[in-house]
């Protein structure tokens, strides 16, 4: 009888240990599977537009998309940062070497997940019927107000009904909130999909005569993240 109890106890102990080991193995497998999935290239089938869609696009004005860079499309840090927000050991997508006050400085640049695909689709959307016009707006083109710089969209084009700005900082576009698409600041999250989530909206904005009639409905989202 005692041997039977000892045998049952041994079996229970063995099953308990086996169950824990198996749970740990499943945890590792799921973790690696998520890593593999999140770095897979996302592809969409490009289908030709219908004649009705072509006629509608020809009837509306050309749209202009203003893209913020830092913490919207990329994140960067330099040699002197004591606590970078990127996980230690994460390789940068590229490194910029510049000289500041005669001192060489390296900037480590990390691209937001899916940014390459996002830009490819955006360029396709903007150039489907018209030639693309790209320009860079610097800080000198911004307006200084109460110690912060505001991006004046009228510098880009006088017709604000056709301009959309994508920026992680609501303060930067507070003069034109009806033209803005808010986006969460990005630093290091490899599972971020914010850029992908915006593609349907940008596609729909092509067909609007005034982008402000749509974007003004999202004013409640314009807050500091």
Q: What is the pLDDT of residues 126-169, one digit of tens each?
A: 665 444 556 677 777 777 777 778 898 988 888 999 999 999 99
**How much is the pLDDT for 144?**
79
Residue with tokens 């509608």: 56
Q: Which long-range contacts (CB under 8 A, 24 or more apart) does 141-145 make?
A: 142/172, 143/175
Predicted confidence at residue 145, as pLDDT, reads 78
Reply yes or no on whether the pLDDT at 1 is more than 60: no
Provide the phi-psi class of 102: left if phi over 0, else alpha when psi is between -120 and 50, else beta.
left
Q: Measure the CA–CA gap between 222 and 177, rounded to whole angstroms.
A: 8
Residues that are catalytic: 68, 70
Query: Is residue 56 pLDDT above 90, yes or no?
Result: no
Q: Determine the topology of domain 48-73+112-224 in CATH.
A: Rossmann fold (3.40.50)
pLDDT, tens digit (0-9, with 9 covering 90-100), for 73-127: 999 888 876 566 777 678 899 998 988 888 888 989 999 999 999 998 888 776 6
pTM of the model: 0.71
Q: Is 29 exposed, middle or buried (0-12, 13-18, 19+ CB in 10 A)?
A: exposed
Cα angle 67, 73, 79 (rounded to 5 degrees) comes to 125
Sorted by where each begins, the domain ranges of the chain are: 1-40, 48-73+112-224, 76-111
DSSP tag of 91: P
**Which is more confident, 49 or 176?**
176
Closest CA to 171 of 74, 71, 85: 71
């Amino acid at each position: 009888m005692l041997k039977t109890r000892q045998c049952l106890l041994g079996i229970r102990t063995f099953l308990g240990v086996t169950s824990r080991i198996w749970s740990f193995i499943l945890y590792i497998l799921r973790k690696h599977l998520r890593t593999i999935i999140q770095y897979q290239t996302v592809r969409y089938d490009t289908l030709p537009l219908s004649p009705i869609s072509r006629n509608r696009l020809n009837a509306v004005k050309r749209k202009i998309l203003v893209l913020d860079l830092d913490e919207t499309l990329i994140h960067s840090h330099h040699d002197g940062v004591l606590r970078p927000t990127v996980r230690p050991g994460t390789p940068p997508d590229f490194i910029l070497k510049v000289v500041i006050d005669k001192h060489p400085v390296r900037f480590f640049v990390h691209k937001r997940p899916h940014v390459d695909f996002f830009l490819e689709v955006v360029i396709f959307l903007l150039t489907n019927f018209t030639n693309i016009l790209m320009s860079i707006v610097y800080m000198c083109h911004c307006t200084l107000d109460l110690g912060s710089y505001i991006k004046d969209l009228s510098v880009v084009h006088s017709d604000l009904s056709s301009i959309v700005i994508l920026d992680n900082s609501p303060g930067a576009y507070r003069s034109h909130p009806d033209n803005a698409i808010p986006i969460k600041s990005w630093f290091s999250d490899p599972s971020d999909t914010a850029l992908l989530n915006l593609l349907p909206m940008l596609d729909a904005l092509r067909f609007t005569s005034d982008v402000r009639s749509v974007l003004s409905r999202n004013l409640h989202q314009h807050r500091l993240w």
